[in-house]
Amino acid sequence: MLQSILRKLRFWNLLSQEPEKNSTEPQDILLSPDLKKSLASLKKILGNSMDVVIREFVIGSKTPINAALIFYEGLINSQTQHESIMQPLMSDTRMSKIEISSLEDIKKSIISAGEVSLVHSMDEIVNKCLFGDTILLVHGFSSALAINTPGWESRGIQEPPTEAVVRGPREGFTETLHTNIAMLRRKISHPDLTFDIMIIGRRTHTQVSIAYLKGITNPRLVEEIKRRLKQIDTDAILESGYIEQFIEDAPFSPFSTVANSEKPDKVSAKILEGRAAILVDGTPVVLTVPMLFVESFQSPEDYYSRPFYASLVRALRFVAFTISILGPATYVALTTYHQELIPTPLLLSMASAREGTPFPALLEALGMGIVFEILREAGVRLPRTVGQAISIVGALVIGDVAVSAGLIGAPMVIVVALTAIASFVVPAQTDVGSVLRIFLTLWAGILGAFGIVIGLLAILIHLASLRSFGAAYLSPLAPLKTSDLKDVFVRVPLWAMFTRPRSIGQLDPERQKFRLRPEPPED
């Protein structure tokens, strides 16, 4: 017992000790006017990595001055660097006519790149290099020029496979932050669209941008997002999923309180409603907050088609989600506890199909559910052509063999297949649907229909208690906001959606003029 306590004390003592700073990290050291000293310090910080390039040369003809370029190969555009920096400095006749009294002379008269800034410390130089800048150091000056020359390879704009649409834009976000910002700027061409940049990650230094509309998005929401992002102190941010897990309201809830999308039109529509978007460099998945539960059942295509079919499809999504979480539980409850609720012909057919099966309905449902999850995971992880073959053939072979061998009944295969199909109708709730399906099936196996009711009440109470960045998760249903019901179970015509959702808490509730209903011309 005493040894266990001592081990714990030593562990907490190690956690409380401040870790020693790595000597290779960039320190806030000011540049020296001596070029050789500055280069020596930078070489010590940057190390001997093969992609670090230090190009020394001489500028000026009247009084030659030693200079050097520092950059990371692969992060800069070589052509831009040659045309905007090297050629003007070494070949331009203006260099022989001007007296270089400060770096401002070079910045204003020689460098032709779009963005040039002064840096004064080693920390600034290293950070600028890591984001694709070329650093120009000139002997005799205690500052340097950071010239924006990014040129890393990036993926082209393609349709996101997870959010394919029949009607609508076919473009999706890429892994490059500036490309994603430009795509949003093209969708919302208004000066009030604002992007705030933050750097998160001690080792990765990942760029994270917050996008919002001034005058529509509540400033308190933006400040809350910044507060949560500033609290993140970790080594690496490699994908927006890292950010999501650090800023969500309910980390122990199976329901996500932060929405995500790869479609610029969908993210733009949410920003126009008063939400804020979080873009992370290196991933095409953009986060949006606050998130409401009903968002999972909405699709961008609903607003591009006429309201009648869009409302029908949305109602089908709610029905499919209900089937996906209640299908196996209902079957287990009916066959185990409530046979009197099944019509007699159907009951006889089900009894003959289950005759000789060695396992109770609960174990059948759980076993087939696990097999389905294994097949789904295998189909996702394997190459697309192989994955489709395994998922289809595997389901047919396993289901047929299991029924033929008498391990499970044929009705259970039908229930699991219907549940599997229904679970893919609402992709945003596929993951949580698997958890809820097992949870409700267990309750149904223990208490029957009463267990299902208890499980549903627990889920409802939990949903009602969730909040996403100050917004009630079940809004506009709880608390009830009748003005926002126009876009929940049905989608009213666009000309009738003249106000933004009040549950988001935006500043400007009016989306469009009141009387925009199309009418035939007068005779």
- Pseudo-torsion of CA 475, 479, 480, 484, nearest 10°? -30
The H or E element that residue 194 is part of is strand 193-200
Q: Dihedral sign, CA of 487, 492, 493, 495?
A: negative
pLDDT at position 230: 94
Question: Which segments in the chain show pLDDT lower than 50?
Answer: 1-2, 6, 8-9, 11, 14-15, 17-26
State the amino acid at position 109 in one-letter form: S
Strands 467-468 and 471-472: antiparallel
- Residue whose entry in the numeric block shows the structure tokens 């309750």: 443
Concatenated DSSP letters for 499-516? B--GGGT-S--B-S-S--
Q: In this structure, what are the phi and psi dihedrals at residue 232, rounded to the nearest 5 degrees? A: -75, 120
pLDDT at position 98: 66
Strands 144-148 and 259-261: unpaired
Distance (Å, rounded) from C-alpha 221 to C-alpha 117? 32
Distance (Å, rounded) from C-alpha 157 to C-alpha 62? 49
Distance (Å, rounded) from C-alpha 221 to C-alpha 79? 42
pLDDT at position 409: 78
pLDDT at position 228: 96
The H or E element that residue 248 is part of is none
Residues in the chain: 523
Concatenated DSSP letters for 390-452? HHHHHHHHHHHHHHHTTSS-HHHHHHHHHHHHHHTTSGGGHHHHHHHHHHHHHHHHHHTHHHH
Angle at which helix 430-447 crosses helix 410-423, to 10 degrees, equals 150
pLDDT at position 22: 42
Q: Dihedral sign, CA of 266, 272, 273, 275?
A: positive
The contacts of residue 94 (CB under 8 Å, 6+ apart) are 88, 109, 110
pLDDT at position 390: 63
Cβ(291)–Cβ(270) under 8 Å? no
pLDDT at position 498: 84
Q: Which of 62, 137, 80 is nearest to 103 (CA)?
A: 137
| Rounded (5°) CA angle 505-311-259 | 40
Distance (Å, rounded) from C-alpha 417 to C-alpha 432? 18
Encoded tokens for 364: 């059948």
pLDDT at position 501: 87
Distance (Å, rounded) from C-alpha 85 to C-alpha 92? 10
As beta bridge partners, residue 72 has: 52
pLDDT at position 386: 62
Q: Dihedral sign, CA of 243, 244, 245, 246?
A: positive
pLDDT at position 206: 92
Distance (Å, rounded) from C-alpha 140 to C-alpha 495? 66
Cβ(278)–Cβ(452) under 8 Å? no
What are the start-end ranges of the H helices in 337-409?
Answer: 344-354, 361-381, 384-404
Entry pTM = 0.84
The H or E element that residue 29 is part of is none
pLDDT at position 24: 43
Distance (Å, rounded) from C-alpha 28 to C-alpha 79? 31
The H or E element that residue 94 is part of is none
